[in-house]
Amino acid sequence: MHENTSVLNDEYIAHRCGLVPLNSENEQEFTDQQACSCTGFCEKCSVRYKLKKRCPADKDFCEVTSQDIIPEQDITKIRNVMPVRYFDDKGIEEDPILLMKLSRNQMLDFTLIAKRGIAKTHAKWSPVATCIMHAEPIVELDQTKINKLNDEHKQELVARCPRKVFSYNNLKKAVDIEDSGACILCQECVKYVANDVDPQNNKLYNQDPDFDWDRMIRIDENLTKFIFTVESTGALTPEDIVLKAFQALRNKLKTLKDLL
């Protein structure tokens, strides 16, 4: 840190900068700092950046973002290790990561050094934002019983699902399974046909007192198959994260086998 006249202390700013995801698709081209022959940091094991910004005197404040982090070397020499840029579904670039705000005449001037690491050492090296695993949902409809519902109740059944698992086919006047993998086992659909509507009071089943609603909808889990969801910070693609994780696991198992 060369100069900091903002209201935030040096350590707080350094922590926020350390959590900015960097493009890591070429991380294999860098050497671990511990294994590098240099005495401090070099181009083989690290990338150096500058962040120097002053709020103009004619402005009340200005924002310091991840786009203000500028590499000291040419971008091709640093293997394109730059702060990630996010795009929405339409391909429009989103706002950069906000680090802090500077008031009039306040200034930041410091050097940043990025090096290769793993999340076991510190979370700032983790390319994963969210990782979820759950058993594959089983969603089954008894169309014979579903077809005894009137159109209004079919549409209400579809609307009750918060994850849009079902859809209503206007052409066939039928309830279809749109995305069974989106089911979170909340049982809202089962509760609707079992409790919220009564055959005699609400005329759900055309006043058929002998109608059996049991098993109209079956929601269960397939314990032999799992859905694994990985959300990336942008440093690596989700596909690369999973493949590199398998590679690391295989290397650990090989080491264990050799030692045994």
pLDDT digits (tens, 9 = 90+) for 36-67: 888 888 888 899 999 999 999 999 999 999 99
Q: Answer whether residue 14 is part of any domain.
A: yes
Q: Answer whether residue 48 is part of any domain.
A: yes
| Residue 202: pLDDT band with limits 50, 70, 90 | very low
Does residue 111 sit in the same domain as residue 8?
yes
Q: Answer whether residue 240 is part of any domain.
A: no
Mean pLDDT over 119-127 rounds to 89
Does residue 147 sit in the same domain as residue 116?
no
Does residue 88 sit in the same domain as residue 154?
no
Q: How far is CA 13 from the centre of its chain?
A: 24
Mean pLDDT over 93-100 rounds to 94
**CATH number of 49's domain:** 2.170.120.12
Q: Answer whether residue 227 is part of any domain.
A: no
Average pLDDT, the chain: 88
Q: Answer whether residue 131 is part of any domain.
A: no
- The more confident residue out of 33 and 224 is 224
| Residue 197: pLDDT band with limits 50, 70, 90 | low
Domain membership of residue 179 as a residue range: 137-221
Last residue of a domain, one of 188, 205, 221: 221
Instruction: Kindly tell me if the per-residue pLDDT of 177 is higher than 90.
Output: yes
- The more confident residue out of 76 and 196 is 76
The confidence score (pLDDT) of residue 210 equals 54
Instruction: Kindly tell me if the per-residue pLDDT of 213 is higher than 60.
Output: no
The confidence score (pLDDT) of residue 207 equals 43
**CATH number of 212's domain:** 3.30.70.20
Does residue 99 sit in the same domain as residue 173?
no
Percentage of the chain lying above the pLDDT 90 cut: 60
Does residue 11 sit in the same domain as residue 115?
yes
| Residue 212: pLDDT band with limits 50, 70, 90 | low
Last residue of a domain, one of 89, 123, 157: 123
Q: Answer whether residue 86 is part of any domain.
A: yes
Instruction: Kindly tell me if the per-residue pLDDT of 158 is higher than 80.
Output: yes
Instruction: Kindly tell me if the per-residue pLDDT of 211 is higher than 60.
Output: no
Q: Answer whether residue 210 is part of any domain.
A: yes
The confidence score (pLDDT) of residue 206 equals 44
Highest mean pLDDT (candidates 190-194, 205-209, 230-234): 230-234
Please state whether the predicted TM-score (pTM) of the whole model is above 0.85: no
Does residue 113 sit in the same domain as residue 166?
no
Does residue 108 sit in the same domain as residue 160?
no
Structurally, the chain folds into a number of domains equal to 2
Does residue 185 sit in the same domain as residue 102?
no
Does residue 154 sit in the same domain as residue 105?
no
